């Protein structure tokens, strides 16, 4: 890519600035850590961003990521729509009986998935790791991290020389939720001519388990919504009540549920008689994303994308994107008879169909043959997928140790991913995570950092 040399020079310059103690010394680190704690930019109580440099994405790479998001979202949408009509496809995806019943409920607006995240390693092109169609985390952390990064001395000096553009995933989330609500309210107005007129501004409940590690993020979401005159609050599923056609919590009516609790996790704790499900089935509340989002969230959806027998479902542009961007993926129970069976163990990994946070992943190159065989057998029994290894992108960052902030920063080369927040098929922000492990997740010790777009013109040049 022609912008990559420019990006490399810019990163080198940033690291030169970080060598100056007045710009990136221990006191700067300590202030940055404290600012994140004060702003509640934590996951499970731990500060997420432990780098004094943000991720930088060139405008050229941003355009390529936008195109990938658009085409692959359309392809996943094809799978969602077909799975609603085809019970055999729903079965192949691994949808449970309860998930199928929930998917059959009309959500009151178009698009099964309105907020999602496409996780990639972006080297020459964005190669897909997985598609988080159900309640992706981290959106509101990004805005807070970016604001604090702007206040650091090294970043401020860098901005005197380079033009950076911030990405606003929080803004995209807010406008998407409002758009979904207006679509839902219009449909309800048409269908229920004698019903009360829906509010033009919904009251939004952010719903997840009460002990969710991302609880601080929910506070950021609520704060942003309230700052834009949208009533909002946090509730756990146990707080919800459904009476007289109205879903409520703490005595407050709920118009829209921003569902942060994954469908599989919800069903692990509650049944279909839960107030949220009854209100959703009655069309009394808007839920975003809908319970249909679990269709594309299944890891087996990637296997469906790569199945030659189903290639005709997709447009020529979508097929090209699938071929070049999505790694080979197979259902574990059919892998032995597939074209991937001859591949070496160190070229493959196993993933649960429905887990999140990096749980249950087995890297073939990280375990011995006996462990791999046992994991493969268990994967066949438990509906896992087998996936082709994707080469990671490495990045060098000025990072610090939370246990030793007085030591300042040191340059470390880490694995970095590039994860696109997708709002009804459009790129609305990017999450970058850093880790020493290829199971790259903040719940596994990785860190999340803000991402800025680096434009191809040096100021004053």
Tell me, what's the pLDDT at 409?
A: 96
Tell me, what's the pLDDT at 2?
A: 58
343 shares a domain with 258: no
- Distance, in Å, from the CA atom of 298 to the CA atom of 292, rounded to the nearest integer, reads 11
Q: In the chain, how many domains are there?
A: 2
HSE on the CB side for 300, CA within 13 Å?
Answer: 24
247 shares a domain with 187: yes
239 shares a domain with 188: yes
Tell me, what's the pLDDT at 189?
A: 84
- 102, part of any domain: no
Q: Is residue 196 very low, low, confident or very high in pLDDT (cuts 50, 70, 90)?
A: low
pLDDT tens figures, 340-368? 777 889 999 999 998 777 788 999 999 99
273 shares a domain with 183: yes
Q: Residue written as tokens 């946070």?
A: 357
244 shares a domain with 192: yes
Q: For residue 351, what are the β-bridge partners?
A: 385
Q: Is residue 334 very low, low, confident or very high in pLDDT (cuts 50, 70, 90)?
A: confident
Lowest mean pLDDT among 15-24, 176-185, 276-285, 348-357: 348-357
With contact defined as beta carbons under 8 Å apart, do 268 and 215 qualify? no
pLDDT tens figures, 8-49? 999 999 999 999 999 999 999 999 999 999 999 988 888 999
With contact defined as beta carbons under 8 Å apart, do 127 and 283 qualify? no
pLDDT tens figures, 386-400? 999 999 999 999 999
Supply the CATH number for residue 181's domain: 3.40.50.1760
Tell me, what's the pLDDT at 93?
A: 98
333 shares a domain with 251: no
- Distance, in Å, from the CA atom of 242 to the CA atom of 270, rounded to the nearest integer, reads 15
- 448, part of any domain: no
Q: Where are the alpha helices (DSSP H) in 214-341?
A: 215-227, 263-269, 275-281, 294-297, 300-306, 316-325
Q: Is residue 458 very low, low, confident or very high in pLDDT (cuts 50, 70, 90)?
A: low
Distances (CA, A) of 397 to 48, 61, 85, 99: 14, 19, 48, 42
Tell me, what's the pLDDT at 197?
A: 65
Lowest mean pLDDT among 182-191, 374-383, 410-419: 182-191
Tell me, what's the pLDDT at 358?
A: 77
Domain that holds residue 352: 328-389
HSE on the CB side for 91, CA within 13 Å?
Answer: 3
Q: What is the mean pLDDT of residues 403-426?
A: 95
Please say if the pLDDT value at position 216 is more than 70: yes
Q: What is the pTM of this model?
A: 0.94
Q: Which of 389, 420, 442 is the last residue of a domain?
A: 389
Residues 6+ apart with CB under 8 A from 153: 22, 23, 24, 28
Q: Is residue 255 very low, low, confident or very high in pLDDT (cuts 50, 70, 90)?
A: very high
| Average pLDDT taken over every residue of the chain | 93
Taking Cα atoms as reference points, which of 34, 61, 67 lies closest to residue 49?
Answer: 34
């Amino acid at each position: 890519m022609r912008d990559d040399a420019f990006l490399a020079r810019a990163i080198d310059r940033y690291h030169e600035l970080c060598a100056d103690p007045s710009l990136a010394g221990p006191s700067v680190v300590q202030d940055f850590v404290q600012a994140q704690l004060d702003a509640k930019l934590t996951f499970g109580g731990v500060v997420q961003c432990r780098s004094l440099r943000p991720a930088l994405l060139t405008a050229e790479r941003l355009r390529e990521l936008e195109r990938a998001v658009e085409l692959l979202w359309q392809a996943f949408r094809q799978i969602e729509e077909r799975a609603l009509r085809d019970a055999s496809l729903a079965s192949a995806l691994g949808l449970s009986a309860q998930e199928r019943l929930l998917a059959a409920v009309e959500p009151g607006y178009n698009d099964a998935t309105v907020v999602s995240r496409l996780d990639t390693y972006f080297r020459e092109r964005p190669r897909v790791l997985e598609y988080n169609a159900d309640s992706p985390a981290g959106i509101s952390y990004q805005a807070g991290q970016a604001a604090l990064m702007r206040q650091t001395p090294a970043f401020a000096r860098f901005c005197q020389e380079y033009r950076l553009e911030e990405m606003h995933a929080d803004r995209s989330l807010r406008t998407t939720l409002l758009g979904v609500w207006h679509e839902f309210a219009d449909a309800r107005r048409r269908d229920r001519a004698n019903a009360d007129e829906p509010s033009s501004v919904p009251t939004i409940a952010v719903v997840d388990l009460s002990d969710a590690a991302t609880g601080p993020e929910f506070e950021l979401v609520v704060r942003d919504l309230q700052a834009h005159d949208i009533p909002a609050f946090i509730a756990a599923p146990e707080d919800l009540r459904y009476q007289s056609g109205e879903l409520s919590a703490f005595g407050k009516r709920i118009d829209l549920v921003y569902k942060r609790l994954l469908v599989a996790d919800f069903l692990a704790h509650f049944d279909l008689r839960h107030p949220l499900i009854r209100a959703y089935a009655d069309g009394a509340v808007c839920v975003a994303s809908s319970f249909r989002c679990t269709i594309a969230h299944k890891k087996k959806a990637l296997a469906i994308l790569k199945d030659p027998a189903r290639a005709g479902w997709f447009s020529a542009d979508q097929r090209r994107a699938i071929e070049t961007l999505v790694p080979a993926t197979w259902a574990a129970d059919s892998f032995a008879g597939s074209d991937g069976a001859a591949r070496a163990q160190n070229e493959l990994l196993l993933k649960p169909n429905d887990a999140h946070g990096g749980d249950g992943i087995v890297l073939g190159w990280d375990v011995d043959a006996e462990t791999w065989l046992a994991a493969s057998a268990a994967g066949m029994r438990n509906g896992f997928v087998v996936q082709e290894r994707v080469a990671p992108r490495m990045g060098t960052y000025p990072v610090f140790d939370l246990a030793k902030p007085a030591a300042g920063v040191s340059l470390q080369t880490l694995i970095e991913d590039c994860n696109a927040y997708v709002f009804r098929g459009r790129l609305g922000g990017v999450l970058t995570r850093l880790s020493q492990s290829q199971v790259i997740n903040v719940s596994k010790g990785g860190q999340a950092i803000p991402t800025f777009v680096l434009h191809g013109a040096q100021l004053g040049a």
